């Protein structure tokens, strides 16, 4: 297939936004794959702030970073992404160039613990306040479960109303696939 899949396309967008010395945010640390990816993009002079409400997600992310000797490039917060502005140091405000959300539930974890539109929208609003101009927020939305479908609809409603003077908003999805394939919403701060 010549079209980029959802996760590869999310990474392409992040690679366009985050470079050496930059600040990035992983809003849903999960098993640590995105945190590790961002830590490599930021390089030794950059930094990643990662958030997750689940202890096992923070532990998995910490272990993944430790195994790659990149833990010193990251700060992990065992709290929801709606708390990011209170957690990220003000010295990083205006320097965040990329952020990623993998919404839904922790793969291999408790499927009753899911992300929700209210906290995600709060985090998006905060990111748009503290991001650098041209910074990109990538939301990977998994909507194959009832809560995910509700979250998807509420997020699409919210982002479609963002003023175009404030942000460019992109939706990337495969529209003829079965089983509710994930989709991407990308928001570029203007």
Domain boundaries, the chain: 6-189
Which one, of 68, 185, 118, lies nearest residue 48 by Cα? 68
Query: What percentage of residues in the chain have a pLDDT greater than 90?
Result: 82
- Higher-pLDDT residue of 47 and 104 is 47
**Is pLDDT of 145 > 70?**
yes
Q: Which parts of the chain fold into alpha helices (H)?
A: 6-17, 33-42, 55-67, 84-87, 117-130, 146-160
Distance from C-alpha of 176 to C-alpha of 120, rounded to nearest angstrom: 27
Euclidean distance between CA atoms 22 and 132, whole angstroms = 10
Superfamily of domain 6-189: Vaccinia Virus protein VP39 (3.40.50.150)
Tell me how far apart the alpha carbons of residues 155 and 139 are, in angstroms, rounded to a whole number: 10
Q: Is the pLDDT of residue 47 over 70?
A: yes
Average pLDDT over residues 62-78: 98
What pLDDT shows up at residue 109?
77
pLDDT at 27: 98
Task: Go through the chain and tell me how many residues it has.
Answer: 190
100-128 pLDDT tens trace: 999 986 677 777 778 888 999 999 999 99
Spatial separation of the C-alpha atoms in residues 124 and 130, rounded to whole Å = 10
């Amino acid at each position: 297939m010549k079209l980029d899949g959802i996760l590869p396309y999310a990474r392409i967008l992040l690679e366009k936004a985050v470079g050496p010395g930059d600040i990035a945010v992983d809003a849903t640390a999960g098993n640590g794959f995105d945190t590790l990816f961002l830590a490599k993009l930021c390089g030794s002079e950059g930094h990643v702030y990662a958030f997750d409400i689940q202890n096992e997600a923070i532990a998995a992310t910490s272990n993944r970073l430790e195994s790659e000797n990149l833990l010193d490039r990251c700060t992990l917060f065992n709290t929801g992404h709606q708390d990011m502005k209170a957690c990220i140091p003000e010295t990083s405000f205006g320097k965040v160039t990329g952020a990623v959300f993998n919404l839904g539930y922790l793969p291999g974890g408790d499927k009753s613990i899911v992300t929700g539109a209210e906290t995600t929208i709060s985090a998006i609003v905060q990111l748009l306040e503290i991001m650098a101009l041209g910074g990109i927020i990538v939301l990977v939305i998994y909507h194959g479960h009832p809560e995910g479908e509700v979250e998807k609809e509420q997020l699409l409603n919210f982002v479609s109303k963002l003023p175009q003077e404030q942000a460019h908003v992109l939706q990337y999805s495969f529209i003829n696939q079965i089983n509710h394939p994930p989709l991407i919403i990308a928001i570029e701060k203007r």
